[in-house]
Amino acid sequence: MIKPHGSDNLNPLFVSDNAKRAELEKEAAGLPSIMISSGAAGNAVMLGAGYFNPLNGYMNLADALSVAEKYTLTDGMFWPTPVMNIVDQATADSIKDAKRIALKDPNVDGNPVLAIQDVTSIDEITSDKMQILVKNTFRTEDKEHPGVAAFTAQGTMAIAGPIQVLNYSYFEKEFKDTFRTAVQIREMIQKNGWNKVVAFQTRNPMHRAHEELCRMAKDSLNADGIIVHMLLGKLKKGDIPADVRDACIRKMAEVYFPPNTVEVTGYGFDMLYAGPREALLHAVFRQNMGATHFIIGRDHAGVGDYYGPFEAQEIFNEIPKGSLLIEMFMADHTAWSKKLNQVVMMRDYPDHTKDDYILLSGTKVREMLGNGEAPPPEFSRPEVAKILIEYYQKEIASK
């Protein structure tokens, strides 16, 4: 099986020993505690689950700046995005002499302790350093960008240090059939007897073109299986909730793929909308979960018009050679060809014009679903459309 990033073995930071975890939970009750941001909580879940191997906790400012500017930590190891615990000044002041702190979960009622952190440094992020972090990570400083807005709203103080993760926030309970750690996915791959494995990232329900893209990748690579790996954390306003996406994707996999060729799973993280940089991060944690290949599509992890359609593919030429073991399957836009009566990758058919494809905007699709009208079967499977129609009509009725 493919090795994890940066080490021979996966090093998840979740404390799996029940007795040890109970000890730490008891210790946490007596430690200085802080409420962390949703972004920092997502980082803790990913560290706990092994997806952010081989990191042992939150980066200090020097490492985060090095990652932003050079794609590497100060020790030279490849890493694509800052993984930080950023708080405001008052929160930092409240624990300034503490060596060990409890991190409270902002996303769960009662704010239970999510992790315990050893404090190795508390660094102020000056405005010029914040600019470096933001501009390099998101390729924009526009506060209207949802990722920039969330990152800069956290504060200006970076608390660095290793963590011990005590739970997986709300993900394990709310998505018990879907949330899986990198450790569990590796075990699943091994149990399935898969050697070559394609991972597909999604934050949306999969329409027909996504389905065919997975099939194209599997067939062209002669892969043993596909892992559809969906984001389960916070999204921007207007995006489809995770439980609805989950139902859509499971129905598509159940009806339209042969048994034992697709696994539907998810991970606990908030969307960054960082386009190219997030594509790199996605590749890192797909390697950590055991996938050998990863599909990078058009405008991968993008939002609005902030990124060019293929910047998320081009960035893989910018990183140091040998940074990753996982291989990329670089995909073009896929759509239904009226000429050929099938979904095709558009770059492969230069003889086609726009009118030769069935292309629907997201706005048009939402409008159709809200009116109880299924998009054409060439665009969306009827079983999937039915689930989405029910969701949109409930949304309209509740307003």
Distances in Å between the Cα of 361 and the Cα atoms of 202, 353, 368, 395 are 18, 17, 11, 20
CA distance linking residue 125 with residue 59, whole number of Å: 13
Same domain assignment for residues 212 and 338: yes
3 state SS of 231: strand
User: For the stretch 218-235, what's the b/e string if a residue is b when 16 or more beta carbons lie within 10 angstroms of its beta carbon?
Assistant: beebebbbbbbbbbbbbb
- Dump pLDDT digits (tens) for 167-217: 999 999 999 999 999 999 999 999 999 999 999 999 888 889 999 999 999
CA–CA distance, 342 with 279 (Å, rounded to integer): 28
Which tens digit of pLDDT belongs to each residue from 63-118?
999 999 999 999 999 999 999 999 999 999 999 899 999 999 999 999 999 999 99
Residue 396 has pLDDT above 90, yes or no: no
With bands split at pLDDT 50, 70 and 90, how would you rate the model's confidence at 240?
confident
Residue where a domain terminates, one of 117, 147, 172:
172
Question: Does residue 8 form part of some domain?
Answer: no
Both 244 and 339 in one domain: the answer is yes
User: DSSP characters for 112-174?
Assistant: -EEEEEE--EEEE--HHHHHHHHHHHHS---TTSHHHHHHHTT-SEEEEEEEEE---TTHHHH
- Residue 362 predicted with pLDDT over 80: no
224 and 356 share a domain? yes
Contact between 334 and 342 (Cβ < 8 Å): no
Mean pLDDT of 362-387: 90
Same domain, 195 and 49: no
- Is 90 exceeded by the pLDDT of residue 338? yes
165 lies in the same domain as 190: no
> CB-based contacts of 248: which residues, under 8 Å, 6+ apart?
205, 206, 384, 387, 388
Q: Do 145 and 183 lie in a common domain?
A: no
Q: Identify the three-state secondary structure at position 266.
A: strand
In the predicted structure, residue 238 carries a pLDDT above the cut 90: no
Whether 236 shows a pLDDT value over 80: the answer reads: no
The last residue of one of the domains, among 142, 157, 172, is: 172
* Torsion of the alpha carbons at 184, 203, 139 and 75, rounded to the nearest 10: 0
The CATH number of whichever domain residue 50 belongs to comes to 3.10.400.10
**Amino acid code (one letter) for 267:** Y
Judgement on whether residues 211 and 123 belong to the same structural domain of the protein: no
CATH classification of the domain holding 183:
3.40.50.620
Q: Is residue 25 in some structural domain?
A: yes
310-335 pLDDT per residue, tens: 999 999 999 998 999 999 999 999 99
Residue 127 CB-density burial (10 A; 0-12 exposed, 13-18 middle, 19+ buried): exposed
d(CA 389, CA 375): 10
Residues 140-166 have a mean pLDDT of 97
| Domain-embedded: residue 1 | no
Q: Does 224 lie in the same domain as 163?
A: no
Whether residue 353 is found in the same domain as residue 337:
yes
Is residue 74 included in any domain, yes or no? Answer: yes
In terms of domains, do 62 and 80 share one? yes
Which structure tokens are listed for 351? 């003889």
Q: Residues 308, 368: one domain?
A: yes
Q: Which domain, by its residues, includes 231?
A: 177-398
Q: Give me the number of domains the chain comprises.
A: 2
pLDDT band at 360 (very low <50, low <70, confident <90, very high): confident
Q: d(Cα 125, Cα 375) in Å, to the nearest integer?
A: 48
Q: Could you give phi then psi for residue 134, rounded to 5 degrees?
A: -70, -50
What is the C-alpha to C-alpha distance for residues 347 and 364, in angstroms, rounded to an integer?
24
Q: What is the mean pLDDT of the chain?
A: 95
Residue at 62: amino acid letter: A
By annotation, the residues acting in catalysis are 203-204
50: left (phi over 0), alpha (psi -120 to 50) or beta: left
Q: Do 251 and 363 belong together in one domain?
A: yes
- Picking from 129, 146, 172, the residue at the C-terminal end of a domain is 172
Instruction: Specify whether the CB–CB gap between 74 and 93 falls below 8 A.
Output: no
